[in-house]
Each structure stands twice: as C-alpha cells, then as structure tokens.
C-alpha cells in the first residue's frame, strides 16, 4: 500500500486510531457501570471508591507535559504499544484486587498511565497524515471514544450481571493488548514528517540550540563550534554537516558528517554519514529535549486555549463516573441506568462526526466556542 498523505494508508491510520480510542476512552467512560458494584463489594465511602477514577483522570490529563519527550525518545509506535500493554496489565490486575487501595493503584496509576500513552501516541497521527480532509478524519478518529461509550458500557453491564465486575476488567485486559498490536503495526510517520525540519521542537532537540540558530540566520563562519551548514531538502529533512561540537569532533576528524533525522516510528536520531553519503547502520537516539517548553506560552491565544482546556478537563469526566449511580439512587434499574451511558455515547459519536465535517468548512474557533457553551448549558440543570 502506497503511504502518502490523504491516501488509503492515511485512512487506515484514521480507523486504527479510532479503534484505539474506542478501547482507551470507552473503558474510562464505562467506569460508571463498575462503580456501584465496586462500592457495594468493598463497602467503602463513595469518595474513597471514586478516588481510583480521579487518579486515572489526573494521570490521563496531567501526563501531557511528558508527551513530547516520550515520543521523541521511543517513537509513536512503541509508545502506543507500551500504552496498550499497560492498559491490559492494569485491567488484569484490577480483576484480582482485594483492597480498594490496590484497585486504586492498578486502575488509577497503571491503567491511567497506559491510557495516557495510548492517547499521546494516537491523537497526533491524524493531523500528520491528513491535509485536505483533516477535520473530518479527526472527527472519525475521535468518534471512537463515543462508540466506546455506546458499546462498552452496555456490554460491561451485561458481563457484570452474568459473571461479575472482575470478568469485565479481564475483557478490558484483552482489548488493551489489541490496541498495543494495532499501534505497533500501523503507526508510522508520513514522508513529509520524517525530516526533523517538519517539527520545530524535534528539530531543535536533534540539532541543538546552535543548530536552530544557524538554520534561522544562515551560516556564520566565525563560530567554529557550531554547525557549518544547515540544509533543508525537499523531503523536509534538516541536515547539519561537519558539526564542530565536542560530541561530533571525532566524527569530523575522520571526515564523517552527521545529519538529524526522525525515523518512521517518530524517533529522533543523529545518523553518521560516511564520505560516500550512506547512513551508518548503528543509529543512536539523541537525548530528549526539555521536559517542558514554555515557548508557546508567549502566545496569548495559546494561553487562553490552555486555560480553557484545563478548566474543561477538571470536570469533564465527573458526569460519566457518577451517572449510573445517580440514576440508581433515583430508582432506575441497573440496565436502564447503564443505558444513559449508551445514549451519551450515541450523542458523542454523532457530535464528533458532525463537528468534524463542519470543521472543514466553518470557522473552527467559533465552532469550538459554541460546542463548549452547549456542553456547559446541558449540565447546568443537573446541579
């Protein structure tokens, strides 16, 4: 299959990420079905029982500051594979937990970290592989979370009714391993993103601050300790030749140049160039860049967006966690209560697909603002 942006392989990536988000977020939303059962079995307070979900959502949302470093270090495919494996492991351990604190560690920490890694690897994929129909593809990919609610919640309820909540977690363990395989065998970068120049953050990490400076202002022969030449080729690859820094001095003495590349799996490497121009087969991954880059926070628009997402994430998952228990407290049956999650999943899926289609033709910031207002207004009557 030809791997080009907006091509058939791009749609394979789209549906692969949809499947990963189906499992990853579907099992998070399905916690509402498990919550009453866990509450009854361990006979602890509602707040303490809900702590496991709170820890998981904190890890999923707060782990974003590590995304760039992890992707640069291990690549998208391996990060997604590791995330799926941790989701499977955490779910399996949950099924054997005999204490609320063990359950909190297995679900909140292990499964939470796995879910975060799955999302960190999956979410950028569609943006890199699509240009013309990016918004629609993103909507299809993210609709997996709604489909997960729509399908996994009632499925989990049926399994819990028949076999107990522990068997439900074992189902999630199997699904987590499926996402690990999907990520490992499908995630890759399009040709235009394999060069370091296509991502300024990765370029800076590969070439270093001096290399970025030289690329921005041209060659300065008066600075022998910096890159003599930065060339951006047609594929978007940034090359640094005859690097004079200490780490490359031996290579230069031998007449060997280096180049900064990003591999198909998303890893950043300094590759030795022999005089004949062939790459050294022993690629070495460069050190990770800064843990947290504050450059974007100089942009006021980014600051507003970051603050809005922070506020949204503080309360976004809360209704999903307590919906089923709230309905049961008002006299609804288990089946009818879990049906609420299914209805929310249908609305979530349809909303993402419609928003994805509209996003290719309408003003996206306004569409985002309207969505936030409608979502907030819908929750206010529950207060």
Phi/psi-derived region of residue 154, left when phi > 0, alpha when psi is between -120 and 50, beta in every other case? alpha
Q: What is the model's pLDDT at position 29? A: 84
Under 8 Å between Cβ of 170 and 95: yes
* C-alpha to C-alpha distance for 194 and 134, rounded to whole angstroms: 19
pLDDT score for 93: 96
- The 10s digit of each residue's pLDDT in 160-214 is 999 999 999 999 999 999 999 999 999 998 887 775 433 434 434 443 444 434 3
Q: What angle do CA 70, 24, 115 make, to 5 degrees?
A: 35
**CB contact set of 324 (below 8 Å; sequence gap of 6+):** 32, 33, 35, 36, 334, 337, 338, 340, 341
Other CB atoms within 10 Å distance of the CB of residue 66: 17
- Please give the pLDDT value at position 216: 38
Find the mean pLDDT for residues 361-381.
78
pLDDT confidence band for 383 (50 / 70 / 90): low
- pLDDT higher at 261 or 126: 126
Burial class (CB in 10 A: 0-12, 13-18, 19+), 119: buried
> If residue 133 lies in a helix (H) or strand (E), which one and from where to where?
none
pTM, rounded to two decimals:
0.65
Per the prediction, the chain carries an average pLDDT of 75
User: Angle, to 10 degrees, between the axis of helix 8-29 and the axis of helix 165-186?
Assistant: 160
């Amino acid at each position: 299959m030809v791997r080009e942006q907006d091509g058939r392989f791009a749609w394979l990536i789209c549906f692969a990420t949809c499947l990963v988000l189906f499992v990853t977020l579907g099992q998070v939303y399905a916690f509402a079905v498990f919550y009453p059962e866990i509450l009854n079995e361990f006979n602890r307070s509602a707040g303490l029982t809900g702590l496991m979900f709170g820890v998981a959502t904190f890890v999923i949302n707060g782990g974003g500051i590590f995304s760039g470093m992890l992707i640069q270090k291990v690549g998208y495919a391996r990060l997604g594979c590791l995330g799926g494996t941790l989701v499977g492991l955490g779910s399996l351990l949950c099924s054997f937990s005999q204490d609320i604190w063990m359950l909190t560690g297995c679900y909140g920490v292990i499964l939470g970290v796995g879910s975060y890694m799955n999302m960190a690897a999956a979410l950028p994929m569609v943006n890199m592989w699509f240009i013309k129909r990016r918004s629609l593809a993103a909507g299809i990919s993210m609709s997996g979370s709604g489909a997960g609610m729509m399908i996994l919640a009632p499925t989990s309820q049926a399994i819990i009714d028949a076999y107990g909540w522990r068997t439900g977690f074992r189902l999630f363990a199997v699904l987590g391993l499926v996402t690990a395989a999907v990520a490992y065998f499908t995630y890759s970068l399009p040709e235009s993103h394999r060069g370091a120049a296509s991502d300024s953050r990765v370029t800076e990490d590969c070439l270093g601050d001096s290399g970025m400076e030289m690329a921005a202002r041209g060659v300065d022969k008066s600075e022998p300790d910096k890159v003599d030449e930065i060339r951006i080729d047609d594929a978007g690859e940034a090359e640094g030749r005859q690097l004079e820094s200490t780490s490359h001095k031996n290579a230069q003495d031998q007449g060997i140049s280096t180049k900064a590349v990003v591999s198909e799996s998303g890893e950043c490497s300094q590759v030795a160039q022999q005089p004949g121009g062939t790459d050294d087969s022993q690629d070495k991954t460069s050190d990770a860049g800064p843990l947290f880059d504050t450059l974007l926070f100089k942009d006021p628009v980014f600051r507003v967006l970051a603050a809005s997402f922070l506020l949204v994430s503080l309360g976004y998952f809360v209704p999903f966690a307590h919906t089923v228990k709230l309905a049961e407290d008002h006299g609804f049956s288990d089946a009818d209560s879990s049906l609420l999650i299914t209805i929310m999943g249908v609305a979530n899926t349809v909303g993402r697909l419609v928003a994805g289609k509209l996003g290719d033709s309408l003003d996206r910031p306004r569409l985002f603002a309207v969505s936030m207002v409608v979502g907030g207004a819908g929750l206010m009557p529950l207060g």
